[in-house]
Amino acid sequence: MSMILFGNDVLFQQRFLKAAGFYTGDLDGDWGPLTDGAMTSFEKQSREITAALGTFDSLSERSILTLNPKAQEAARAFLKKVRAADIGDIRIVSGTRTYAEQNALYRKGRFGNPPPVVTKAKGGQSNHNFGIAWDIGIFQNGQYLDKPDLYERAARAGLVDSIEWGGDWKSFKDLPHFQLATGNPIKLVCAKFENGQAYV
């Protein structure tokens, strides 16, 4: 049996696999042979991408392997470039989040929970929920560095036309955040994801 990638959120996993072209069954939230086979195919393609583009530290690997295959390719090429720029120990620390995981993040800093606010997006409002966004962390001796200039240097080193950077956003700049460009508003990307249609 294939691994369960997103906790027990089978519907989320079916949407993810269907939008990426691996799953052909109903979006019913039931783990059956079609879901299992789709997951096996997804894992096989992930291994092929890894073999072609190289592997990184275990944290980056765990995060990258949650992404849509097109984002896996982009994230691996991106990470290779930013590491070559000699900015610091750069890792991909976050990839795909389920809606429930996104909602848990949204509650941070709100509703009486201690600050800071870390996101403006609820479940279904972030590209992390559709498998096409990743966050980087820059470390030194195992310590996370919160220095904006380092993230700007990483963006300059790694950005290509197909990738958008959270540091370019007008409101709520998100310096560690990168995502595949879709050319579509996020509401449309969300609708496509929920219907299992391709958006990248």
Q: Which is nearer to Zn ion, 83 or 177 (CB)?
A: 177
Q: Which is nearer to Zn ion, 87 or 133 (CB)?
A: 133
Contact yes or no for 159/168 (Cβ under 8 A): no
Contact yes or no for 135/158 (Cβ under 8 A): no
CA–CA separation, 78 vs 160, rounded Å? 8
The single-letter code of the amino acid at 101 is E
Measured in whole angstroms, how far is the alpha carbon of residue 55 from the centre of its chain?
17
111 Rama sector, left if φ>0, alpha if ψ -120 to 50, beta otherwise:
left
Measured in whole angstroms, how far is the alpha carbon of residue 165 from the centre of its chain?
13
CB of 134 vs Zn ion, minimal distance in Å? 7
CA–CA separation, 11 vs 30, rounded Å? 7
Maximum CA pair distance of the chain?
48
CA–CA separation, 36 vs 54, rounded Å? 26
Q: Which is nearer to Zn ion, 76 or 177 (CB)?
A: 177
Contact yes or no for 80/32 (Cβ under 8 A): no
Positions in the binding site for Zn ion (CB under 5 A): 135, 177
Kindly report the backbone phi and psi dihedral angles of residue 5, in degrees, each rounded to the nearest multiple of 5, phi listed first. Answer: -85, -35
Q: Which is nearer to Zn ion, 18 or 177 (CB)?
A: 177
